[in-house]
Amino acid sequence: MQLTRLDIKGFKSFGDKTTIHFNDGVTAIVGPNGCGKSNVVDAIRWVLGEQSTKNLRSEKMENIIFNGTKSRKAAQLAEVSLSFDNTKNILPTSFSHVTITRKLYRSGESEYRLNDVQCRLKDITDLFLDTGIGSNSYAIIELRMVDEIINNKENSRRALFEESSGISKYKVRKKQTLNRLKDTELDLSRINDLLIEIEKNLKSLETQARKAERYYRIREEYKQSSLNLASLKLSQFQNGLSALQVKENAEKQLNTEHVQRIQQLEESLQLAKRALITEEKNLSLQQKELNQQKSKIQAYETVKKIKNE
């Protein structure tokens, strides 16, 4: 396994995206004071999961984001990617090329990515466990750590030997297992408390259960009685409906007879109307003839009167 590439963008003094290639033969990064060498180490430590702002030489985590200059705006995101060649399968993964990425936004949100797939910090920690690579591993030794190792401050020398010999992996797993056991014991104590509380409430629950059983039984009886009542009412409604249908049929029959009678009367009325019209025509003709005769009589009387005179 070999470190092949480091990509830094928006982290501390690296406002622009900077890529450092670790090709064969690269053994050191040199430069004048203040050029950012320590920031490169901080970037590697940070992407490997460092959570302590003190180890990153910062007061708070937000300060690691590029804060801008007089001529440049402040960055909204700090992003560091670290790439490894895993052709020898030292890392427990099937990928021959492994890239881990960490991002931090000014809003406080952060995320980890493994080969551009979002993951947890624990996934990255477990991946590099027992490889000597980590935020606090012997692969990253600062100047102050040399003094701690020489002076054996807080058993730092022993921790270094344990990590290099592969013991630290088992100690981490032991710690995780002990934490799980502690959580399990807490859960068991909570379960015991719950059992005691349940036993106290058992009689009350039994009474409630009996009430519930009685309620369900009465509800079933009520349901059956409701069905019987509904069936009885339905039967009565059907009988009433049958009587109404018989009455309706009789009314329909009577209505039909009345309609036929009305039709007959209307036909008779039409015939009478026709006869009346004929009589009115005859009467009109007779009236016309009568008027003509009256006119003739009046004419004769006039002539007669003239003759008499």
User: Of how many residues is the chain composed?
Assistant: 309
Q: How far is Cα 189 from Cα 27, in angstroms, rounded to an integer?
A: 55
**pLDDT tens profile 109-144:** 999 999 989 999 888 888 877 676 765 665 666 656
**In this structure, is residue 54 part of a structural domain?**
yes
Asked whether the predicted pLDDT for residue 55 surpasses 90, the reply is no
**In this structure, is residue 222 part of a structural domain?**
no
**In this structure, is residue 175 part of a structural domain?**
yes
Q: Over pLDDT 90: what percentage of the chain?
A: 28
**pLDDT tens profile 233-259:** 998 899 989 889 999 999 999 999 999
Residues 130 and 62 in one domain: yes
**In this structure, is residue 226 part of a structural domain?**
no
Give the confidence band of 65 by pLDDT, cuts at 50, 70, 90.
Answer: very high
**pLDDT tens profile 186-239:** 888 888 888 888 887 888 888 888 899 999 999 999 999 999 999 999 988 999
Residues 179 and 62 in one domain: no
Which residue matches tokens 């590029």?
66
**Residue 65: how many other CB atoms lie within 10 Å:** 20
pTM above 0.75, yes or no: no
In b/e form, how buried is each residue of 173-205, taking b as 16+ CB within 10 angstroms?
Answer: eeeeeeeeeeeeeeeeeeeeeeeeeeeeeeeee
Residues 16 and 107 in one domain: yes
**In this structure, is residue 76 part of a structural domain?**
yes
Asked whether the predicted pLDDT for residue 166 surpasses 80, the reply is no
Give the start-end residues of each E strand in 37-115: 77-85, 97-105, 110-114
Residues 126 and 189 in one domain: no
Radius of gyration of the chain (CA): 56
**In this structure, is residue 112 part of a structural domain?**
yes
DSSP state of 169: H
pLDDT at 45: 86
Average pLDDT rounded to a whole number, residues 169-174:
70
Q: How far is Cα 209 from Cα 198, in angstroms, rounded to an integer?
A: 14
**In this structure, is residue 275 part of a structural domain?**
no
Residues 180 and 65 in one domain: no
Structure tokens at 85: 């060649």
Residues 63 and 175 in one domain: no
Residue type at 166 in one-letter notation: G
Q: Over pLDDT 70: what percentage of the chain?
A: 86
Give the relative orientation of helices 202-308 and 167-200 as an angle to the nearest 10 degrees.
70
The set of residues, in sequence order, having a beta carbon less than 8 Å from that of 14 and lying 6+ positions away, is 8, 36, 39, 43, 66
pLDDT at 173: 74
Residues 109 and 176 in one domain: no
Instruction: Quote the number of domains for the chain.
Output: 2
Asked whether the predicted pLDDT for residue 175 surpasses 60, the reply is yes
**Residue 43: how many other CB atoms lie within 10 Å:** 29
> The domain that contains 81 carries what CATH number?
3.40.50.300
Residues 87 and 181 in one domain: no
**In this structure, is residue 33 part of a structural domain?**
yes
Asked whether the predicted pLDDT for residue 282 surpasses 80, the reply is yes
Residues 11 and 78 in one domain: yes
Residues 111 and 176 in one domain: no
Boundaries of domain holding 186: 170-200
Q: In whole numbers, what is the pLDDT of the chain averaged over residues?
A: 85
Q: How far is Cα 192 from Cα 5, in angstroms, rounded to an integer?
A: 54
Residues 128 and 6 in one domain: yes
Residues 96 and 182 in one domain: no
**Residue 102: how many other CB atoms lie within 10 Å:** 22
Asked whether the predicted pLDDT for residue 289 surpasses 70, the reply is yes
Give the confidence band of 101 by pLDDT, cuts at 50, 70, 90.
Answer: very high
**What residues form DSSP beta bridges with 94?**
none
